[in-house]
Amino acid sequence: MGMASADIAAAPVHSGKARVNKHKADWRGWKFMWPFAVVFVFVFIVPIVYAVYISFFKKQMIGGTKFVGFENYARLLGDGQFWSSVGRVALFTCVQVPIMLCLSALMALALDSMKLHGTRFFRISTFLPYAVPAVVSTLIWGFVYGAKYGLVGSLNDFLGTDIDVLAPSVLLASIGNIVTWEFTGYNMLIFYSSLSTIPHSLYEAASIDGASEWQIVKSIKLPELRGSLAITVIFSIIGSFQLFNEPSILQNMVPGNAITTYYTPNMYAYNLSFSGNQSNYAAALAIVMAVITMAIAYIVQLNSLKEQMK
């Protein structure tokens, strides 16, 4: 009887302790996360806030820096060079991105078919261009494109032709070829990862029911790629609107003035800030491009969610 009373008396104390421990804050997760959070704030958040801040100012020859409100943004709306660069990357996006993603999807389907010999070599070789820095890739392709000393020049000498893939009329397509070579393998791995989640028993059941290879691709594999397609489209749009390395490096390899200082929005912002001493106007340009890119990416994401809910 005495032991039972002692157990009953001790029970409330134990449950009270449990309640206190249950509601006690656990900061272990934050301790692991704070190094990244500090870097993220100072590398990402602070530069954005500072860019927005300086976009409302203007440097003057007399009087120094002056607050001008939305004057830089109003000037940007009437800037023909800016809209020319935006139209160029928009055309680049509409043509290059579908071609690249179609190639990536076809390669992923070929890998997933289990009928491709040397799948490991194929997977590594297609992903390898993504591992090559963009500067190195552009330099390599720049020498390949050379009409005098490059591969194109050698083919011209051999065939007696006069092909110039760096001519202004086809220059954007040549840059698109470089970008496609760089990122097709990366997107292929994203598609292939989605296809790898499908159980192979589903394919076997479809085959037993008499489904052809094309019917399996159409009814099982392609619907599974919808989620990854949205991700790759968003990433590709963001990358296309940030186009800078390829045209900037090719600028010295292309004869004449085919690649101007405002060839892409990023090139325009860079040259305004570092060559034209107009960092405030360049900041406004960068903010507007960020808003445009986010709006397009958001529309793509909404459309993808609608398709997945059908």
Looking at the structure, do residues 234 and 257 belong to the same domain, yes or no? yes
Give the alpha-carbon dihedral of 127, 129, 130, 134, to 10 degrees.
180
**Mean of pLDDT values over 113-142:** 86
For residue 273, being part of any structural domain is answered with yes
Looking at the structure, do residues 56 and 204 belong to the same domain, yes or no? no
Looking at the structure, do residues 256 and 111 belong to the same domain, yes or no? yes
Mean pLDDT, the chain, rounded, equals 85
> Which three-class secondary structure state does DSSP give residue 39?
helix
For residue 14, being part of any structural domain is answered with no
Looking at the structure, do residues 131 and 271 belong to the same domain, yes or no? yes
**Mean of pLDDT values over 169-190:** 94
Looking at 65, 86, 121, which one is the last position of a domain? 65
Number of folded domains in the chain? 2
> Alpha-carbon distance 26 to 151, whole Å?
62
> Alpha-carbon distance 16 to 150, whole Å?
80
8 A C-beta contact, residue 282 and residue 273: yes
Looking at the structure, do residues 117 and 233 belong to the same domain, yes or no? yes
Q: Domain of 270? A: 78-307
pLDDT at 208: 83
Looking at the structure, do residues 55 and 161 belong to the same domain, yes or no? no
For residue 8, the surrounding DSSP H or E stretch is helix 2-22
For residue 209, being part of any structural domain is answered with yes
**51-98 pLDDT tens trace:** 999 999 988 777 678 888 899 999 999 999 999 999 999 999 999 999
For residue 126, being part of any structural domain is answered with yes
Looking at the structure, do residues 84 and 231 belong to the same domain, yes or no? yes
Looking at the structure, do residues 159 and 272 belong to the same domain, yes or no? yes
Looking at the structure, do residues 237 and 298 belong to the same domain, yes or no? yes
pLDDT at 24: 67
Looking at the structure, do residues 31 and 86 belong to the same domain, yes or no? no
Looking at the structure, do residues 218 and 278 belong to the same domain, yes or no? yes
Classify 120 in phi/psi space as left (phi over 0), alpha (psi -120 to 50) or beta: alpha
For residue 73, being part of any structural domain is answered with no
Looking at 35, 65, 95, which one is the last position of a domain? 65
**pLDDT score of 22 more than 60:** no
pLDDT at 63: 67
Looking at the structure, do residues 237 and 179 belong to the same domain, yes or no? yes
Domain containing residue 210: CATH number: 1.10.3720.10
Measured CA distances, 89 to 21, 93, 138, 267 (Å): 57, 6, 18, 11
Instruction: Provide the token pair at 294.
Output: 């986010």
For residue 128, being part of any structural domain is answered with yes
**234-279 pLDDT tens trace:** 999 999 999 999 999 998 888 778 899 999 999 999 999 988 888 9
For residue 31, being part of any structural domain is answered with yes
**pLDDT score of 292 more than 70:** yes
DSSP state of 243: -
**pLDDT score of 305 more than 70:** yes
